[in-house]
């Protein structure tokens, strides 16, 4: 390994290059000027100038989710760092590998309330997987390599490296440490074989099995999705997925029951409720998935595979917990299944599928078509039909449109679905789409948005235009914060407190003002043409798709209800949410 004297800023750039970073999303400021100067004097790392630091983080997340590689953000001290906090928390909740470099005031000024000073490591401690304040230029190389190791190994997550300006300026030694072997952080990736054997046995004995897969399968790399598909093929068992896990199993695989949870399908939730053996792979029994905990899948034996031991037995007590990476554990599970020549109980399985098919026959995603007003579900069905051959990357904002996108856009492969699940961050979709488009310049990238969410980071249209990123923003515009309004319908007597947005902008004119293109659809018969036109335009496009204003998203497990107490449509909405349910988020 070579070692030489360089400025701290040069060390940062050199380390990023050695770590294989090809793009950084960022925004300059006083405390990172030395790093920007070093960036300016090289060509290997591309810098994408965003318009708000939150967007730098979401873009880094979009890049990371769509590539499996860590995303990198660079922001200045003080407000730069505090603006990044939402994106960091988002990445923490959804386990996205992101490294965020923050500028900091010079070490001798720390604690003096200097200009643009914030206690960045203090503020970001609870919203990162780990963070560092670098106090010596000689430590920079080691810390940066460690930061990438921690962001990407074990359960992925965001790591902040806070860089005082004097450390960036001082000269020091850089050595590429190569492969990091961390002194305390060594996550377990291989599962305990004895437990895996037990899991295979439990699965083989199941009469009413279900596989419940989550974002951990996506995070474990494309191989994990292939292994999950193999397990499904081998066993013939039904499989459902969390919001985060969509794409691991193809949406149109007959074994796939659709998404589960609050807006999951009738068949997926009922199968979860009635199963006798549940195999949870890389999911975390989130409250949006389980519904009321004491009524969650009451009769089942539960197996939980997770890279993070703290996810096991956190919300739901399981019968068998296996700590390990989804790909490794699934691989071993399949080996055991084959070696023991296990066969599913065909008779029981047939009965189980018959029951599932009855649930399926309810056709829970059906909606009332309309030939005058664009139904949001219809718009997404058309979007899917007309774009699926391009295998687009789909991001979303947060709300009804997000749930409809999850229900109606069929994902056939992992890493193509970028949505803020855990934190539920409105304003996520456009910058995430920008990150994905940077990573996949020739692919179609669509942000399925709501008119309220998109306004939270609309300034990123300017980023897209500057960097020639032809992202498509497909707004389902119902003029309401639809999900807020839906909850007001359910729990607050349809008193729509502040959920209607008066004075919305003209999105077509807005797109044009940014230098992009704007399109509008107001009638169902315009939808196809608008989508085709959108795809044909080689620059950022905003589609203002004006949809039915009061449509609600079904099915729905209301807050505080169990999986088998779903609302399938407006006709089920009679009862107000229970008092206990109202207290839940």
Does residue 549 interact with another protein by CB under 8 A?
no
Task: Give, to the nearest 10 degrees, the angle between helix 400-408 and helix 376-387.
Answer: 50
Q: Is 165 a catalytic site residue?
A: yes
The DSSP annotation for 490-519 comes to HHSTT--TT-B--S---HHHHHHHHTSEEE
- Nearer residue to another protein within complex by CB, 59 or 92: 92
Distance of closest approach, residue 313 Cβ to another protein, in angstroms: 6
Distance of closest approach, residue 4 Cβ to another protein, in angstroms: 27
- Nearer residue to another protein within complex by CB, 173 or 293: 293
Pick the catalytic residue: 165, 301, 302, 472? Answer: 165
Distance of closest approach, residue 310 Cβ to another protein, in angstroms: 4
Distance of closest approach, residue 130 Cβ to another protein, in angstroms: 4
* Cβ–Cβ under 8 Å, residues 545 and 477: yes
Can you say how many angstroms the Cα of residue 370 is from the centroid of all Cα atoms in its chain? 32
**Contact characters 421-440, another protein, x per CB under 8 A:** --------------------
Distance of closest approach, residue 229 Cβ to another protein, in angstroms: 30
Q: How many CB atoms lie within 10 A of CB 86?
A: 22
Q: Is 565 a catalytic site residue?
A: no
Scanning residues 298 to 327, which ones bind another protein (CB under 8 A)? Answer: 308-310, 312-317
Pairing relationship of beta strands 3-7 and 171-175 according to DSSP bridges: antiparallel
User: Which one of 51, 58, 65, 129 is in contact with another protein (CB under 8 A)?
Assistant: 129
Size of the site for another protein (CB under 8 A): 24
Does residue 121 interact with another protein by CB under 8 A?
yes
Q: How many CB atoms lie within 10 A of CB 51?
A: 18
Pick the catalytic residue: 17, 116, 188, 459? Answer: 116
Q: Is 190 a catalytic site residue?
A: no
Stretch that binds another protein, among 81-89, 125-133, 244-252, 355-363 (CB under 8 A): 125-133
- Nearer residue to another protein within complex by CB, 132 or 393: 132
**Torsion of the alpha carbons at 522, 526, 527 and 532, rounded to the nearest 10:** -130
Greatest Cα-to-Cα distance within the chain, rounded to the nearest angstrom: 74
Report in angstroms the alpha-carbon separations of 507 from 150, 456, 503, 518: 41, 14, 12, 7
Radius of gyration of the chain from its Cα atoms, rounded to whole angstroms: 24
- Nearer residue to another protein within complex by CB, 313 or 413: 313
Q: Is 179 a catalytic site residue?
A: no
Nearest to 162 by CA among 184, 182, 139, 179: 139
Does residue 126 interact with another protein by CB under 8 A?
yes
Q: Which residue has tokens 């294989």?
A: 20
Scanning residues 147 to 206, which ones bind another protein (CB under 8 A)? Answer: 150, 155, 182-185
Scanning residues 221 to 250, which ones bind another protein (CB under 8 A)? Answer: none
Q: Contacts from 229-236 at CB under 8 Å and sequence distance 24+?
A: 229/253, 230/330, 230/334, 231/330, 231/333, 231/334, 231/337, 234/334, 234/337, 234/338, 235/203, 235/209, 235/337, 235/344, 236/344, 236/349
Beta bridge partners of 163: 103
| Token pair recorded at residue 143 | 């810390």
User: Which one of 133, 272, 444, 510 is in contact with another protein (CB under 8 A)?
Assistant: 133
User: Which one of 122, 369, 441, 515 is in contact with another protein (CB under 8 A)?
Assistant: 122
Does residue 579 interact with another protein by CB under 8 A?
no
Question: Phi first, then psi: what are they for 220, rounded to 5°?
Answer: -80, 5
Which is it for the CA torsion 540, 544, 545, 547, positive or negative? positive
Distance of closest approach, residue 142 Cβ to another protein, in angstroms: 13
**Contact characters 256-295, another protein, x per CB under 8 A:** -------------------------------------xx-
- Nearer residue to another protein within complex by CB, 92 or 445: 92
Stretch that binds another protein, among 41-49, 103-111, 127-135, 328-336 (CB under 8 A): 127-135
- Nearer residue to another protein within complex by CB, 212 or 285: 285
Distance of closest approach, residue 10 Cβ to another protein, in angstroms: 25
Report in angstroms the alpha-carbon separations of 50 from 80, 156, 300, 446: 12, 24, 48, 18
- Nearer residue to another protein within complex by CB, 128 or 168: 128
Report in angstroms the alpha-carbon separations of 340 from 52, 204, 232, 343: 56, 10, 17, 9
* Cβ–Cβ under 8 Å, residues 313 and 180: no
Give me the count of residues in the chain.
585
Distance of closest approach, residue 527 Cβ to another protein, in angstroms: 46
User: Which one of 125, 351, 368, 391 is in contact with another protein (CB under 8 A)?
Assistant: 125
Distance of closest approach, residue 67 Cβ to another protein, in angstroms: 24
Stretch that binds another protein, among 58-66, 84-92, 120-128, 523-531 (CB under 8 A): 120-128
Pairing relationship of beta strands 23-26 and 71-75 according to DSSP bridges: parallel
Distance of closest approach, residue 13 Cβ to another protein, in angstroms: 25
Does residue 368 interact with another protein by CB under 8 A?
no
Q: Is 533 a catalytic site residue?
A: no
Pick the catalytic residue: 278, 456, 461, 483? Answer: 483
Pick the catalytic residue: 10, 14, 53, 244? Answer: 53
Does residue 523 interact with another protein by CB under 8 A?
no
Nearest to 350 by CA among 207, 142, 539: 207
- Nearer residue to another protein within complex by CB, 142 or 539: 142
Helices (H) and strands (E) counted in the chain, each on its own, are 23, 20
Does residue 571 interact with another protein by CB under 8 A?
no
User: Which residues form the catalytic set?
Assistant: 53, 115-116, 165, 483
Which residues here bind another protein, judged by CB under 8 A? 121-122, 125-126, 129-130, 133, 150, 155, 182-185, 293-294, 308-310, 312-317
């Amino acid at each position: 390994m070579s070692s030489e004297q360089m400025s701290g800023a040069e060390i940062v750039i050199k380390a990023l290059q050695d770590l294989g970073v090809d793009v950084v999303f960022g925004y300059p400021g006083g405390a990172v000027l030395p790093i920007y100067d070093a960036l300016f004097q090289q060509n290997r790392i591309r810098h994408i100038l965003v318009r708000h630091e939150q967007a730098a983080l979401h873009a880094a997340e979009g890049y990371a989710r769509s590539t499996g590689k860590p995303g990198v953000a660079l922001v200045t001290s003080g407000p730069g760092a505090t603006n990044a906090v939402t994106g960091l928390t988002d990445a923490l909740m959804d386990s996205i590998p992101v490294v965020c470099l923050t500028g900091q005031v010079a070490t001798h000024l720390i604690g003096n309330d200097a200009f643009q000073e914030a206690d960045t490591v203090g503020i970001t401690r609870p919203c990162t997987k780990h963070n560092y304040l670098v106090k010596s230029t000689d430590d920079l190389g080691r810390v940066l390599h460690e930061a990438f190791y921690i962001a990407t190994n074990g359960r992925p997550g965001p790591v902040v490296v806070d860089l005082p300006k004097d450390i960036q300026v001082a000269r020091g030694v850089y050595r590429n440490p190569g492969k990091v072997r961390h002194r305390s952080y060594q996550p377990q990736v291989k599962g305990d074989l004895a437990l895996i054997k037990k899991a295979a046995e439990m699965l083989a004995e199941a009469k009413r099995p279900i596989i419940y897969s989550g974002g951990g399968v996506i995070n474990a790399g494309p191989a994990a999705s292939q292994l999950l598909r193999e397990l499904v093929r081998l066993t013939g068992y039904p499989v459902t997925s969390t919001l985060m896990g969509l794409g691991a199993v193809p949406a149109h695989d007959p074994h796939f029951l659709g998404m589960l949870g609050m807006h999951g399908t009738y068949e997926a939730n009922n199968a979860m409720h009635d199963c006798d053996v549940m195999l949870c792979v890389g999911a975390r029994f989130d409250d949006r998935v389980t519904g009321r905990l004491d009524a969650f899948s009451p009769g089942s034996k539960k197996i939980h595979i997770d890279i993070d031991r703290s996810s096991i037995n956190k919300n739901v007590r399981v019968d068998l917990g296996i700590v390990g990476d989804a790909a490794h554990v699934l691989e071993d599970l399949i080996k055991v299944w084959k070696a023991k020549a296990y066969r599913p109980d065909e008779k029981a399985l047939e009965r189980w599928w018959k029951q599932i098919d009855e649930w399926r026959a309810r056709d829970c995603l059906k909606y009332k078509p309309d030939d005058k007003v664009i139904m949001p579900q219809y718009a997404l069905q058309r979007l899917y039909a007309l774009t699926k051959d391009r295998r687009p990357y789909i991001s979303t904002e947060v709300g009804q449109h997000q749930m409809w996108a999850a229900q109606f856009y069929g994902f056939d492969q992992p890493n193509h679905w970028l949505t803020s699940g855990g934190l539920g961050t409105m304003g996520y979709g456009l910058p995430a789409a920008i990150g994905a488009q940077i990573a996949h310049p020739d692919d179609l990238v669509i942000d399925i948005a709501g008119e309220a969410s998109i306004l939270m980071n609309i300034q990123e249209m300017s980023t897209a235009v500057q960097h020639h990123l032809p992202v498509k923003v497909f707004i389902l515009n119902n003029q309401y914060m639809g999900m807020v309004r839906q909850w007001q319908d359910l729990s607050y007597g349809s008193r729509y407190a502040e959920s209607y947005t008066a004075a919305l902008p003209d999105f077509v004119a807005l797109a044009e003002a940014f230098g992009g293109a704007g399109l509008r659809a107001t009638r169902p018969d315009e939808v196809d043409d608008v989508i085709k036109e959108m795809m044909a335009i080689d620059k950022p496009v905003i589609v203002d798709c004006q949809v039915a204003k009061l449509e609600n998203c079904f099915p729905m497990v209301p807050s505080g209800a169990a999986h088998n107490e779903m609302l399938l449509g407006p006709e089920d909405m009679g009862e107000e949410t229970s008092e206990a349910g109202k207290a839940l988020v």
